[in-house]
Structure 1
Amino acid sequence: MIESLLNLSLPLLIFGVFVVLVVSSELGFWIGRLALKIVSKNAPHYFDNSDENVSTITNSSLALLALFLGFTFSSAMDHFELNRQAVINEAAVIKTAYQAAKLQPAPYSQELVKDIREYADIRLELESTQSNEKSVREIQSKSQHQLEKIWSQLRAIAQKDPQSGSLDLLFQAIDSVGTAENARTEYLLNNVPNGLFVPVGLFLIFNGVLLGASLGEGSKRHIILSWGLYFLVALAVGIIADLDRPLHGFINVDQQAMRIMRSAIH
Protein backbone atom coordinates (compact mmCIF):
# COMPACT_ATOMS: atom_id res chain seq x y z
CA MET A 1 0.00 0.00 0.00
CA ILE A 2 2.80 2.40 0.92
CA GLU A 3 4.60 1.64 -2.34
CA SER A 4 1.42 2.34 -4.33
CA LEU A 5 0.98 5.70 -2.58
CA LEU A 6 4.61 6.66 -3.16
CA ASN A 7 4.29 5.77 -6.85
CA LEU A 8 1.49 8.29 -7.39
CA SER A 9 2.27 11.14 -9.75
CA LEU A 10 3.87 14.13 -8.08
CA PRO A 11 0.76 16.40 -8.28
CA LEU A 12 -1.47 13.67 -6.80
CA LEU A 13 1.06 12.93 -4.06
CA ILE A 14 1.32 16.59 -3.08
CA PHE A 15 -2.46 16.98 -3.13
CA GLY A 16 -2.91 13.85 -1.01
CA VAL A 17 -0.46 15.00 1.66
CA PHE A 18 -2.05 18.46 1.65
CA VAL A 19 -5.52 16.96 2.19
CA VAL A 20 -4.23 14.79 5.05
CA LEU A 21 -2.72 17.84 6.73
CA VAL A 22 -5.87 19.93 6.27
CA VAL A 23 -8.13 17.19 7.63
CA SER A 24 -5.80 16.62 10.59
CA SER A 25 -5.68 20.34 11.23
CA GLU A 26 -9.47 20.64 11.14
CA LEU A 27 -9.74 17.78 13.63
CA GLY A 28 -7.19 19.45 15.87
CA PHE A 29 -8.94 22.80 15.53
CA TRP A 30 -12.24 21.46 16.81
CA ILE A 31 -10.42 19.66 19.63
CA GLY A 32 -8.81 22.97 20.53
CA ARG A 33 -12.13 24.82 20.44
CA LEU A 34 -13.70 22.17 22.64
CA ALA A 35 -10.83 22.42 25.10
CA LEU A 36 -11.24 26.20 25.12
CA LYS A 37 -14.92 25.94 26.04
CA ILE A 38 -14.35 23.38 28.78
CA VAL A 39 -11.37 25.04 30.45
CA SER A 40 -12.57 28.63 30.10
CA LYS A 41 -15.57 27.89 32.30
CA ASN A 42 -13.35 27.05 35.25
CA ALA A 43 -10.29 29.16 34.39
CA PRO A 44 -11.38 32.20 32.37
CA HIS A 45 -7.89 33.70 32.32
CA TYR A 46 -6.15 30.51 31.24
CA PHE A 47 -6.09 31.52 27.57
CA ASP A 48 -5.16 35.18 28.04
CA ASN A 49 -1.75 34.46 26.50
CA SER A 50 -3.13 32.14 23.84
CA ASP A 51 -1.28 33.88 20.99
CA GLU A 52 2.02 33.24 22.73
CA ASN A 53 1.01 29.62 23.26
CA VAL A 54 0.23 29.25 19.56
CA SER A 55 3.60 30.70 18.59
CA THR A 56 5.55 28.50 21.01
CA ILE A 57 3.81 25.27 20.05
CA THR A 58 3.95 26.03 16.33
CA ASN A 59 7.66 26.84 16.35
CA SER A 60 8.54 23.72 18.32
CA SER A 61 6.39 21.51 16.12
CA LEU A 62 7.79 22.92 12.89
CA ALA A 63 11.35 22.53 14.13
CA LEU A 64 10.79 18.83 14.79
CA LEU A 65 9.03 18.43 11.45
CA ALA A 66 11.90 20.16 9.63
CA LEU A 67 14.41 17.85 11.34
CA PHE A 68 12.46 14.75 10.34
CA LEU A 69 11.96 15.88 6.75
CA GLY A 70 15.60 16.94 6.50
CA PHE A 71 16.78 13.46 7.47
CA THR A 72 14.45 11.82 4.95
CA PHE A 73 15.47 14.29 2.23
CA SER A 74 19.15 13.52 2.87
CA SER A 75 18.52 9.79 2.42
CA ALA A 76 16.55 10.34 -0.80
CA MET A 77 19.18 12.73 -2.18
CA ASP A 78 21.97 10.23 -1.48
CA HIS A 79 20.01 7.57 -3.35
CA PHE A 80 19.40 9.95 -6.25
CA GLU A 81 23.10 10.81 -6.51
CA LEU A 82 24.14 7.13 -6.43
CA ASN A 83 21.78 6.41 -9.33
CA ARG A 84 23.09 9.39 -11.28
CA GLN A 85 26.68 8.23 -10.90
CA ALA A 86 25.70 4.65 -11.75
CA VAL A 87 24.25 5.73 -15.12
CA ILE A 88 27.40 7.66 -16.01
CA ASN A 89 29.65 4.80 -14.91
CA GLU A 90 27.73 2.13 -16.80
CA ALA A 91 27.74 4.17 -20.01
CA ALA A 92 31.50 4.67 -19.70
CA VAL A 93 32.36 0.99 -19.13
CA ILE A 94 30.14 -0.21 -22.00
CA LYS A 95 31.86 2.22 -24.35
CA THR A 96 35.26 1.04 -23.12
CA ALA A 97 34.27 -2.58 -23.75
CA TYR A 98 33.13 -1.64 -27.26
CA GLN A 99 36.45 0.03 -28.01
CA ALA A 100 38.37 -2.97 -26.66
CA ALA A 101 36.26 -5.32 -28.79
CA LYS A 102 37.12 -3.36 -31.94
CA LEU A 103 40.82 -3.98 -31.25
CA GLN A 104 40.34 -7.72 -31.66
CA PRO A 105 41.27 -9.26 -35.00
CA ALA A 106 38.63 -10.33 -37.51
CA PRO A 107 36.40 -12.23 -37.43
CA TYR A 108 36.20 -11.94 -33.62
CA SER A 109 35.74 -8.19 -33.48
CA GLN A 110 32.57 -8.06 -35.62
CA GLU A 111 30.66 -10.56 -33.49
CA LEU A 112 31.81 -9.04 -30.20
CA VAL A 113 30.88 -5.53 -31.29
CA LYS A 114 27.45 -6.77 -32.38
CA ASP A 115 26.80 -8.44 -29.04
CA ILE A 116 27.95 -5.39 -27.07
CA ARG A 117 25.54 -3.23 -29.06
CA GLU A 118 22.71 -5.63 -28.25
CA TYR A 119 23.72 -5.51 -24.60
CA ALA A 120 23.59 -1.70 -24.66
CA ASP A 121 20.10 -1.83 -26.21
CA ILE A 122 18.91 -4.06 -23.38
CA ARG A 123 20.28 -1.69 -20.75
CA LEU A 124 18.58 1.24 -22.49
CA GLU A 125 15.24 -0.48 -21.83
CA LEU A 126 15.53 0.66 -18.22
CA GLU A 127 14.62 4.16 -19.37
CA SER A 128 11.13 3.06 -20.41
CA THR A 129 10.44 0.27 -17.92
CA GLN A 130 8.22 0.54 -14.86
CA SER A 131 9.83 1.54 -11.57
CA ASN A 132 9.31 -1.73 -9.74
CA GLU A 133 11.50 -4.65 -8.77
CA LYS A 134 9.92 -7.15 -11.17
CA SER A 135 10.50 -5.00 -14.27
CA VAL A 136 14.05 -4.03 -13.27
CA ARG A 137 14.95 -7.66 -12.50
CA GLU A 138 13.59 -8.81 -15.86
CA ILE A 139 15.90 -6.41 -17.66
CA GLN A 140 18.78 -7.48 -15.44
CA SER A 141 18.10 -11.12 -16.35
CA LYS A 142 18.13 -10.29 -20.08
CA SER A 143 21.33 -8.26 -19.83
CA GLN A 144 23.08 -10.95 -17.80
CA HIS A 145 22.10 -13.55 -20.39
CA GLN A 146 23.57 -11.34 -23.11
CA LEU A 147 26.68 -10.75 -21.01
CA GLU A 148 27.14 -14.50 -20.55
CA LYS A 149 27.00 -14.84 -24.34
CA ILE A 150 29.86 -12.34 -24.61
CA TRP A 151 31.84 -14.21 -21.96
CA SER A 152 31.39 -17.46 -23.91
CA GLN A 153 32.84 -15.80 -26.98
CA LEU A 154 35.80 -14.49 -25.01
CA ARG A 155 36.56 -17.92 -23.59
CA ALA A 156 36.38 -19.41 -27.08
CA ILE A 157 38.71 -16.74 -28.44
CA ALA A 158 41.16 -17.33 -25.59
CA GLN A 159 41.29 -21.04 -26.42
CA LYS A 160 41.61 -20.61 -30.18
CA ASP A 161 43.88 -17.59 -30.25
CA PRO A 162 45.38 -16.83 -26.80
CA GLN A 163 47.70 -14.26 -28.35
CA SER A 164 44.82 -12.20 -29.72
CA GLY A 165 45.53 -8.49 -29.38
CA SER A 166 44.29 -6.71 -26.26
CA LEU A 167 42.40 -9.77 -25.04
CA ASP A 168 43.31 -9.05 -21.41
CA LEU A 169 41.99 -5.52 -21.79
CA LEU A 170 38.71 -6.85 -23.16
CA PHE A 171 38.38 -9.34 -20.29
CA GLN A 172 38.81 -6.49 -17.80
CA ALA A 173 36.37 -4.27 -19.67
CA ILE A 174 33.61 -6.90 -19.77
CA ASP A 175 34.16 -7.64 -16.08
CA SER A 176 33.70 -3.92 -15.37
CA VAL A 177 30.50 -3.94 -17.43
CA GLY A 178 29.06 -6.69 -15.24
CA THR A 179 30.07 -4.88 -12.06
CA ALA A 180 28.54 -1.62 -13.26
CA GLU A 181 25.30 -3.39 -14.22
CA ASN A 182 24.94 -5.00 -10.79
CA ALA A 183 25.69 -1.72 -9.02
CA ARG A 184 23.14 0.23 -11.06
CA THR A 185 20.45 -2.41 -10.57
CA GLU A 186 20.93 -2.49 -6.81
CA TYR A 187 20.92 1.31 -6.57
CA LEU A 188 17.62 1.36 -8.47
CA LEU A 189 16.04 -1.16 -6.12
CA ASN A 190 17.62 -0.30 -2.78
CA ASN A 191 15.88 3.02 -2.37
CA VAL A 192 14.81 4.75 0.81
CA PRO A 193 12.96 2.05 2.81
CA ASN A 194 9.20 2.41 2.57
CA GLY A 195 9.05 1.86 6.31
CA LEU A 196 10.77 5.20 6.80
CA PHE A 197 7.79 6.96 5.27
CA VAL A 198 5.43 5.43 7.85
CA PRO A 199 6.74 7.51 10.77
CA VAL A 200 6.91 10.51 8.42
CA GLY A 201 3.20 10.09 7.68
CA LEU A 202 2.32 9.65 11.35
CA PHE A 203 4.42 12.65 12.26
CA LEU A 204 2.66 14.76 9.62
CA ILE A 205 -0.76 13.78 11.00
CA PHE A 206 0.38 14.49 14.55
CA ASN A 207 1.67 17.92 13.55
CA GLY A 208 -1.51 18.70 11.67
CA VAL A 209 -3.62 17.89 14.73
CA LEU A 210 -1.25 19.77 17.03
CA LEU A 211 -1.22 22.89 14.86
CA GLY A 212 -4.98 22.77 14.47
CA ALA A 213 -5.46 22.44 18.23
CA SER A 214 -3.11 25.37 18.83
CA LEU A 215 -5.09 27.51 16.40
CA GLY A 216 -8.33 26.39 18.03
CA GLU A 217 -7.10 27.66 21.36
CA GLY A 218 -6.03 30.99 19.86
CA SER A 219 -8.07 34.03 18.99
CA LYS A 220 -7.61 33.64 15.20
CA ARG A 221 -7.82 30.69 12.83
CA HIS A 222 -5.16 31.83 10.31
CA ILE A 223 -6.61 29.70 7.50
CA ILE A 224 -4.55 31.23 4.67
CA LEU A 225 -1.26 31.03 6.58
CA SER A 226 -1.86 27.53 7.93
CA TRP A 227 -3.02 26.13 4.58
CA GLY A 228 -0.05 27.80 2.90
CA LEU A 229 2.22 26.04 5.39
CA TYR A 230 0.51 22.69 4.72
CA PHE A 231 1.03 23.13 0.99
CA LEU A 232 4.75 23.81 1.49
CA VAL A 233 5.08 20.75 3.72
CA ALA A 234 3.18 18.64 1.15
CA LEU A 235 5.49 19.99 -1.58
CA ALA A 236 8.55 19.00 0.48
CA VAL A 237 7.21 15.48 1.03
CA GLY A 238 6.38 15.16 -2.67
CA ILE A 239 9.89 16.21 -3.68
CA ILE A 240 11.43 13.72 -1.25
CA ALA A 241 9.33 10.86 -2.62
CA ASP A 242 10.01 11.94 -6.21
CA LEU A 243 13.77 12.01 -5.68
CA ASP A 244 13.49 8.37 -4.69
CA ARG A 245 12.02 7.45 -8.11
CA PRO A 246 15.11 7.90 -10.32
CA LEU A 247 13.61 6.42 -13.48
CA HIS A 248 10.23 8.07 -13.84
CA GLY A 249 9.90 10.77 -11.23
CA PHE A 250 9.31 14.39 -12.11
CA ILE A 251 12.86 14.92 -10.79
CA ASN A 252 14.43 11.92 -12.52
CA VAL A 253 17.98 10.80 -13.19
CA ASP A 254 19.06 11.93 -16.64
CA GLN A 255 19.67 8.93 -18.91
CA GLN A 256 21.42 11.04 -21.55
CA ALA A 257 24.80 9.39 -20.87
CA MET A 258 23.41 6.01 -21.93
CA ARG A 259 21.82 7.44 -25.08
CA ILE A 260 25.04 9.21 -26.06
CA MET A 261 26.98 6.01 -25.47
CA ARG A 262 24.60 4.02 -27.68
CA SER A 263 24.88 6.50 -30.53
CA ALA A 264 28.69 6.35 -30.24
CA ILE A 265 28.85 2.58 -30.72
CA HIS A 266 26.90 2.55 -33.99
Structure 2
Amino acid sequence: MIDAFAKWLEAAPTWQIGLVLLAAMFVASLFGEWLSGRTAKAKTKDGDDGGKEGYIVSATLGLLALLMGFTFSLAVDRFEARRLLVLEESNAIGTTYLRTQMLEPVDRARISKMLVDYTDNRIALAKAPIDQVPSLLARNDQMLTDLWTATLAAWPSIKGLDFSSAYLDSMNNMIDLDAARKAARLARVPSAVFFVLFVYVITSAGVLGYAGANKEGRGATAFLFILLTISLLLTLDIDRPRSGRITESQAPMERLKATLASQPPEVFDRLSTGKTPPPAAVPKLETAIPGR
Protein backbone atom coordinates (compact mmCIF):
# COMPACT_ATOMS: atom_id res chain seq x y z
CA MET A 1 0.00 0.00 0.00
CA ILE A 2 2.81 2.40 0.87
CA ASP A 3 4.51 1.73 -2.47
CA ALA A 4 1.32 2.58 -4.37
CA PHE A 5 0.90 5.70 -2.23
CA ALA A 6 4.51 6.71 -2.95
CA LYS A 7 3.99 6.38 -6.71
CA TRP A 8 0.81 8.44 -6.56
CA LEU A 9 2.46 11.06 -4.36
CA GLU A 10 5.33 11.39 -6.83
CA ALA A 11 3.29 11.49 -10.02
CA ALA A 12 0.18 13.44 -9.00
CA PRO A 13 0.20 17.25 -9.26
CA THR A 14 0.09 19.20 -6.02
CA TRP A 15 -3.39 20.60 -6.57
CA GLN A 16 -4.78 17.11 -7.10
CA ILE A 17 -3.24 15.87 -3.87
CA GLY A 18 -4.71 18.85 -2.05
CA LEU A 19 -8.22 18.22 -3.39
CA VAL A 20 -8.09 14.51 -2.52
CA LEU A 21 -6.84 15.26 0.99
CA LEU A 22 -9.42 17.96 1.58
CA ALA A 23 -12.26 15.74 0.36
CA ALA A 24 -11.05 12.86 2.55
CA MET A 25 -10.99 15.14 5.59
CA PHE A 26 -14.56 16.33 4.98
CA VAL A 27 -15.77 12.75 4.48
CA ALA A 28 -14.02 11.64 7.69
CA SER A 29 -15.52 14.57 9.57
CA LEU A 30 -19.02 13.74 8.39
CA PHE A 31 -18.48 10.10 9.28
CA GLY A 32 -17.35 11.11 12.76
CA GLU A 33 -20.45 13.26 13.15
CA TRP A 34 -22.66 10.37 12.03
CA LEU A 35 -20.93 7.99 14.42
CA SER A 36 -21.39 10.47 17.25
CA GLY A 37 -25.12 10.57 16.56
CA ARG A 38 -25.34 6.77 16.60
CA THR A 39 -23.66 6.59 20.00
CA ALA A 40 -25.54 9.53 21.51
CA LYS A 41 -27.71 7.25 23.60
CA ALA A 42 -24.65 5.98 25.46
CA LYS A 43 -23.66 9.47 26.56
CA THR A 44 -24.59 10.75 29.97
CA LYS A 45 -27.28 13.33 30.23
CA ASP A 46 -25.20 15.77 32.28
CA GLY A 47 -22.59 16.03 29.55
CA ASP A 48 -19.57 14.69 31.48
CA ASP A 49 -18.36 12.90 28.34
CA GLY A 50 -18.09 16.23 26.55
CA GLY A 51 -15.11 17.15 28.69
CA LYS A 52 -13.46 13.84 27.92
CA GLU A 53 -14.00 14.42 24.22
CA GLY A 54 -12.39 17.83 24.57
CA TYR A 55 -9.27 16.24 26.04
CA ILE A 56 -9.15 13.74 23.19
CA VAL A 57 -9.47 16.49 20.58
CA SER A 58 -6.71 18.54 22.23
CA ALA A 59 -4.38 15.55 22.42
CA THR A 60 -5.13 14.57 18.82
CA LEU A 61 -4.47 18.06 17.45
CA GLY A 62 -1.34 18.41 19.57
CA LEU A 63 0.11 15.20 18.21
CA LEU A 64 -0.89 16.26 14.70
CA ALA A 65 1.00 19.53 15.11
CA LEU A 66 4.05 17.58 16.30
CA LEU A 67 3.97 15.24 13.30
CA MET A 68 3.49 18.09 10.84
CA GLY A 69 6.32 20.08 12.40
CA PHE A 70 8.62 17.06 12.28
CA THR A 71 7.84 16.42 8.61
CA PHE A 72 8.26 20.09 7.72
CA SER A 73 11.63 20.16 9.48
CA LEU A 74 12.81 17.13 7.47
CA ALA A 75 11.80 18.80 4.20
CA VAL A 76 13.44 22.12 5.10
CA ASP A 77 16.69 20.40 6.14
CA ARG A 78 16.92 18.73 2.75
CA PHE A 79 16.09 22.00 1.00
CA GLU A 80 18.84 23.79 2.93
CA ALA A 81 21.34 21.07 2.02
CA ARG A 82 20.51 21.50 -1.68
CA ARG A 83 20.83 25.29 -1.40
CA LEU A 84 24.27 25.10 0.23
CA LEU A 85 25.49 22.65 -2.39
CA VAL A 86 24.66 25.16 -5.13
CA LEU A 87 26.94 27.70 -3.44
CA GLU A 88 29.70 25.14 -2.90
CA GLU A 89 29.56 24.01 -6.51
CA SER A 90 29.70 27.55 -7.87
CA ASN A 91 32.78 28.23 -5.70
CA ALA A 92 34.40 24.98 -6.87
CA ILE A 93 33.84 25.78 -10.55
CA GLY A 94 35.12 29.33 -10.06
CA THR A 95 38.26 28.08 -8.32
CA THR A 96 38.91 25.52 -11.05
CA TYR A 97 38.44 28.20 -13.72
CA LEU A 98 40.96 30.53 -12.07
CA ARG A 99 43.53 27.77 -11.65
CA THR A 100 42.99 26.76 -15.28
CA GLN A 101 44.46 30.10 -16.32
CA MET A 102 47.89 28.83 -15.18
CA LEU A 103 47.91 26.03 -17.77
CA GLU A 104 49.54 26.11 -21.15
CA PRO A 105 47.65 28.29 -23.69
CA VAL A 106 46.10 25.39 -25.60
CA ASP A 107 44.93 23.55 -22.49
CA ARG A 108 43.83 26.78 -20.85
CA ALA A 109 41.58 27.80 -23.75
CA ARG A 110 40.07 24.34 -24.11
CA ILE A 111 39.29 23.70 -20.43
CA SER A 112 38.09 27.28 -19.82
CA LYS A 113 35.55 26.92 -22.62
CA MET A 114 34.44 23.55 -21.25
CA LEU A 115 33.93 25.02 -17.78
CA VAL A 116 31.77 27.83 -19.17
CA ASP A 117 29.62 25.34 -21.09
CA TYR A 118 29.40 23.10 -18.02
CA THR A 119 28.16 26.00 -15.90
CA ASP A 120 25.47 26.86 -18.45
CA ASN A 121 24.31 23.24 -18.53
CA ARG A 122 24.19 23.02 -14.73
CA ILE A 123 21.90 26.06 -14.57
CA ALA A 124 19.68 24.68 -17.33
CA LEU A 125 19.54 21.27 -15.62
CA ALA A 126 18.44 22.78 -12.30
CA LYS A 127 15.59 24.72 -13.95
CA ALA A 128 14.52 22.22 -16.62
CA PRO A 129 11.12 20.51 -16.64
CA ILE A 130 11.08 16.83 -15.83
CA ASP A 131 10.82 15.74 -19.47
CA GLN A 132 14.05 17.58 -20.37
CA VAL A 133 16.08 16.32 -17.43
CA PRO A 134 17.34 13.02 -18.95
CA SER A 135 18.94 14.67 -22.00
CA LEU A 136 20.52 17.47 -19.95
CA LEU A 137 21.74 14.98 -17.37
CA ALA A 138 23.36 12.82 -20.06
CA ARG A 139 25.08 15.92 -21.46
CA ASN A 140 26.22 16.84 -17.97
CA ASP A 141 27.85 13.46 -17.42
CA GLN A 142 29.54 13.60 -20.82
CA MET A 143 30.91 17.06 -20.01
CA LEU A 144 32.45 15.77 -16.79
CA THR A 145 34.12 12.96 -18.71
CA ASP A 146 35.46 15.45 -21.26
CA LEU A 147 36.74 17.75 -18.51
CA TRP A 148 38.65 14.95 -16.86
CA THR A 149 40.00 13.81 -20.23
CA ALA A 150 41.23 17.35 -20.94
CA THR A 151 42.80 17.46 -17.46
CA LEU A 152 44.70 14.25 -18.15
CA ALA A 153 45.89 15.69 -21.45
CA ALA A 154 47.18 18.79 -19.65
CA TRP A 155 48.82 16.84 -16.84
CA PRO A 156 52.23 16.21 -18.51
CA SER A 157 52.77 19.96 -18.84
CA ILE A 158 52.02 20.74 -15.17
CA LYS A 159 53.02 17.64 -13.20
CA GLY A 160 56.35 19.17 -12.32
CA LEU A 161 54.82 22.42 -11.05
CA ASP A 162 53.92 23.19 -7.45
CA PHE A 163 50.24 23.90 -8.17
CA SER A 164 49.57 20.63 -10.03
CA SER A 165 48.14 18.84 -6.97
CA ALA A 166 45.95 21.81 -6.12
CA TYR A 167 44.59 21.88 -9.65
CA LEU A 168 43.71 18.18 -9.55
CA ASP A 169 42.05 18.68 -6.15
CA SER A 170 39.88 21.49 -7.48
CA MET A 171 38.81 19.43 -10.50
CA ASN A 172 38.08 16.40 -8.30
CA ASN A 173 36.12 18.57 -5.87
CA MET A 174 33.99 19.90 -8.72
CA ILE A 175 33.21 16.37 -9.90
CA ASP A 176 32.43 15.25 -6.33
CA LEU A 177 29.97 18.12 -5.88
CA ASP A 178 28.14 17.02 -9.01
CA ALA A 179 27.56 13.64 -7.36
CA ALA A 180 26.62 15.34 -4.10
CA ARG A 181 23.96 17.48 -5.77
CA LYS A 182 22.50 14.46 -7.53
CA ALA A 183 22.30 12.58 -4.22
CA ALA A 184 20.76 15.61 -2.49
CA ARG A 185 17.98 15.77 -5.07
CA LEU A 186 17.19 12.12 -4.45
CA ALA A 187 17.16 12.57 -0.66
CA ARG A 188 13.45 13.00 0.05
CA VAL A 189 11.25 12.70 3.08
CA PRO A 190 10.36 8.98 3.25
CA SER A 191 6.99 8.15 1.71
CA ALA A 192 6.06 6.24 4.86
CA VAL A 193 6.24 9.50 6.82
CA PHE A 194 3.80 11.21 4.45
CA PHE A 195 1.56 8.14 4.48
CA VAL A 196 1.31 8.13 8.27
CA LEU A 197 0.82 11.90 8.29
CA PHE A 198 -2.00 11.75 5.74
CA VAL A 199 -3.73 8.94 7.66
CA TYR A 200 -3.40 10.87 10.90
CA VAL A 201 -4.75 14.08 9.36
CA ILE A 202 -7.82 12.24 8.03
CA THR A 203 -8.29 10.48 11.38
CA SER A 204 -8.04 13.81 13.20
CA ALA A 205 -10.78 15.19 10.97
CA GLY A 206 -12.97 12.26 11.99
CA VAL A 207 -12.23 12.92 15.67
CA LEU A 208 -13.25 16.55 15.24
CA GLY A 209 -16.51 15.50 13.63
CA TYR A 210 -17.17 13.01 16.42
CA ALA A 211 -16.53 15.67 19.07
CA GLY A 212 -19.16 17.92 17.53
CA ALA A 213 -16.94 20.46 15.82
CA ASN A 214 -19.23 20.45 12.79
CA LYS A 215 -22.26 21.32 14.86
CA GLU A 216 -20.49 24.18 16.63
CA GLY A 217 -19.36 25.77 13.36
CA ARG A 218 -18.94 24.13 10.00
CA GLY A 219 -17.25 27.21 8.61
CA ALA A 220 -14.57 27.14 11.30
CA THR A 221 -14.03 23.40 10.74
CA ALA A 222 -13.73 23.89 6.98
CA PHE A 223 -11.24 26.73 7.55
CA LEU A 224 -9.14 24.48 9.80
CA PHE A 225 -9.14 21.72 7.17
CA ILE A 226 -8.00 24.19 4.51
CA LEU A 227 -5.15 25.40 6.74
CA LEU A 228 -4.01 21.83 7.38
CA THR A 229 -4.12 21.06 3.66
CA ILE A 230 -2.08 24.15 2.80
CA SER A 231 0.52 23.24 5.42
CA LEU A 232 0.87 19.72 4.06
CA LEU A 233 1.08 20.92 0.46
CA LEU A 234 3.81 23.39 1.45
CA THR A 235 5.84 20.59 3.00
CA LEU A 236 5.26 18.39 -0.03
CA ASP A 237 6.26 21.16 -2.44
CA ILE A 238 9.53 21.83 -0.60
CA ASP A 239 10.28 18.10 -0.78
CA ARG A 240 9.93 18.14 -4.60
CA PRO A 241 13.21 19.56 -5.94
CA ARG A 242 12.28 18.96 -9.59
CA SER A 243 8.55 19.55 -9.89
CA GLY A 244 7.90 21.80 -6.89
CA ARG A 245 7.49 25.55 -7.05
CA ILE A 246 9.81 26.12 -4.09
CA THR A 247 13.28 25.18 -5.31
CA GLU A 248 16.78 26.16 -4.30
CA SER A 249 17.98 29.42 -5.81
CA GLN A 250 20.51 29.21 -8.63
CA ALA A 251 21.73 32.77 -7.98
CA PRO A 252 25.31 31.68 -7.09
CA MET A 253 25.60 29.76 -10.36
CA GLU A 254 24.08 32.62 -12.33
CA ARG A 255 26.53 35.08 -10.79
CA LEU A 256 29.34 32.68 -11.65
CA LYS A 257 28.09 32.53 -15.24
CA ALA A 258 28.19 36.33 -15.46
CA THR A 259 31.68 36.40 -13.95
CA LEU A 260 33.02 33.82 -16.40
CA ALA A 261 31.51 35.75 -19.30
CA SER A 262 33.24 38.94 -18.15
CA GLN A 263 36.57 37.20 -17.52
CA PRO A 264 37.64 35.24 -20.61
CA PRO A 265 41.17 33.83 -20.56
CA GLU A 266 42.48 36.90 -22.43
CA VAL A 267 41.67 39.08 -19.43
CA PHE A 268 44.38 37.41 -17.39
CA ASP A 269 47.03 38.16 -20.02
CA ARG A 270 46.93 41.92 -19.73
CA LEU A 271 49.92 42.06 -17.38
CA SER A 272 51.91 39.38 -19.19
CA THR A 273 54.27 40.81 -21.84
CA GLY A 274 56.07 37.60 -22.55
CA LYS A 275 59.42 39.31 -21.94
CA THR A 276 61.43 39.87 -18.83
CA PRO A 277 61.79 43.59 -18.26
CA PRO A 278 65.40 44.82 -18.08
CA PRO A 279 66.67 45.64 -14.61
CA ALA A 280 66.35 49.26 -13.61
CA ALA A 281 69.53 51.31 -13.96
CA VAL A 282 71.19 51.90 -10.62
CA PRO A 283 72.71 55.39 -10.38
CA LYS A 284 76.36 55.54 -9.46
CA LEU A 285 77.18 57.31 -6.28
CA GLU A 286 80.32 59.40 -6.39
CA THR A 287 82.03 59.84 -3.09
CA ALA A 288 84.08 62.96 -2.69
CA ILE A 289 87.60 62.21 -1.49
CA PRO A 290 89.10 64.92 0.66
CA GLY A 291 92.14 66.56 -0.86
CA ARG A 292 91.26 65.76 -4.44
TM-score of the pair, normalised by structure 2: 0.79
Comparing 10-19 with 99-108, greater Cα deviation is found at 10-19
Query: For 2:113 and 2:85, how far apart are their aligned partners in 1?
Result: 24
Comparing 12-21 with 103-112, greater Cα deviation is found at 12-21
Q: Does 1:5 align with 2:9?
A: yes
Q: CA deviation at 1:121?
A: 2.1
Query: For 2:52 and 2:216, how far apart are their aligned partners in 1?
Result: 14
Q: Is the 8 A contact 1:104 1:167 kept in 2?
A: no
Give 2:247's match in structure 1, choosing from 248, 252, 257: 252
Q: Which residue of 1 aligns with 2:61?
A: 62
Query: For 1:115 and 1:136, how far apart are their aligned partners in 2?
Result: 20
Give 1:148's match in structure 2, choosing from 145, 148, 159: 145
Q: Does 1:186 align with 2:183?
A: yes
Map 1:162-241 → 2, pairs under 5 A: 162-163=159-160, 166-215=163-212, 220-241=215-236
Residues 148 and 103 (structure 1), Cα distance of their counterparts in 2 relative to 1, 3 Å cut: same
Q: Is the 8 A contact 1:104 1:165 kept in 2?
A: no
Q: Is the 8 A contact 1:158 1:164 kept in 2?
A: no
Map 1:38-57 → 2, pairs under 5 A: 38-39=41-42, 45=45, 48-57=47-56
Q: Which residue of 1 aligns with 2:105?
A: 106
Q: Look up the equivalent residue of 1:189 and give its one-letter code.
A: L
Query: For 1:139 and 1:181, how far apart are their aligned partners in 2?
Result: 13
Q: Look up the equivalent residue of 1:214 and give its one-letter code.
A: A
**Aligned-pair identity (%):** 21
Q: Look up the equivalent residue of 1:21 and give its one-letter code.
A: M
Q: Is the 8 A contact 2:119 2:257 kept in 1?
A: yes
Alpha carbon RMSD of aligned pairs, Å? Answer: 2.5
Q: CA deviation at 1:136?
A: 5.4
Q: CA deviation at 1:248?
A: 4.1
Q: Is the 8 A contact 1:121 1:262 kept in 2?
A: yes
| Structure 1: unaligned runs, 5 residues or longer | none
Structure label with greater radius of gyration: 2
Q: Is the 8 A contact 1:80 1:243 kept in 2?
A: yes
Deviations 1:151-190 (A, max 9, x none): 1122122225534684333211110101111111100011
Deviations 1:50-99 (A, max 9, x none): 54234222101101111111211111111111111111111111111111
Between the two proteins, the alignment pairs up a number of residues equal to: 257
Q: Is the 8 A contact 1:25 1:210 kept in 2?
A: yes
TM-score of the pair, normalised by structure 1: 0.86
Residues 161 and 260 (structure 1), Cα distance of their counterparts in 2 relative to 1, 3 Å cut: closer
Q: Look up the equivalent residue of 2:20 and give its one-letter code.
A: G
